[in-house]
Amino acid sequence: MRVLIIEDEEHIADFLRRGLSFKGYTVDVARTGEAGLDAARDKPPDIVVLDVMLPGMNGFEVCLRLRQGLDPTLPIIMLTAKDATEDKIEGLDAGADDYIAKPFSFDELLARMRAALRRRQPQGREVLRVDDLTLNTAAREAVRDGRSVDLTTREYDLLEFLVRHAGQVVSKEAIFERVWGYTYDIDSDAVKVYISYLRAKLTAGGEPDLIHTVRGIGYVLKESVPVT
Ligand code: CA
């Protein structure tokens, strides 16, 4: 098990590094959010322990980027000095699995890490559902209301990304990074075009549109609201 600690406070980072190494984890430490994102790309962790208060990019932003850019199922536990409820909500909205206020006990952190790792579903063999849309990730098949939807590789990747983030607004940049796989030369027009292909295929049987445009930001896939 590889754990990535993103924490700027040296004594806490060292304490975690020693404790987790002793428990058998392979530990990487990054001191800034940017360094943490690089480390996660170089050596993909099984779980991340992420401080909220970091110099530069804060922990919430790092959490979003880890989730949207790298691995939507990566377990992330956030640490913060502040015990404010708003922080907790923001952390969970950003996609964190759990949240621990400093000071925390090492045993508590270990217990939360084990719980987060247990909750993680193995990727690649799941059935994902939103409304009447079902994705079989092993077979890379999409079914809408019993109708099989024929998708290209890129369309499928885009749809799986949206379904894994169902109910969350994802930016065109995040979609491009994840689906096209590179971060330079981001082409948000390509995203727009592929979204239109997907929409057409997903509504070809007269079903309601599940992909909603959030103007100026990106897209959210969510259940359709029945018209009454
Ligand atoms: Ca800090």
User: Residues 79-101: pLDDT tens digits?
Assistant: 987 665 666 667 666 777 778 88
Same structural domain for residues 115 and 132?
no
Near ion ligand 1, which residues have CB within 5 Å?
8, 51, 53
Strands (E), 52-119: 76-80, 98-101
* Same domain, yes or no: 140 and 62: no
Task: Report how far ligand 1's centroid is from the alpha carbon of 51 (Å).
Answer: 6
Q: How far is ligand 1, taken at its centre, from the CA of residue 61, in Å?
A: 14
pLDDT digits (tens, 9 = 90+) for 27-58: 999 999 999 999 999 999 999 999 998 999 99
Alpha carbon of 75 to ligand 1 centroid (Å) = 20
In the numeric block, the tokens 């530990």 are attached to 27
The pTM for the full model equals: 0.54
Distance CA 180, CA 128 (A): 21
Long-range contacts of 38-46 (CB under 8 A, 24+ apart): 39/4, 39/6, 40/4, 40/66, 40/70, 40/74, 41/70, 43/2, 43/4, 44/2, 44/70, 44/71, 45/2, 45/3, 45/4, 45/74, 46/1, 46/2, 46/3, 46/75, 46/117
From 68, 86, 120, the end of a domain falls on: 120
The β-bridge relationship of strands 98-101 and 127-130 is unpaired
* One domain for residues 148 and 107: no
CATH number at residue 144: 1.10.10.10
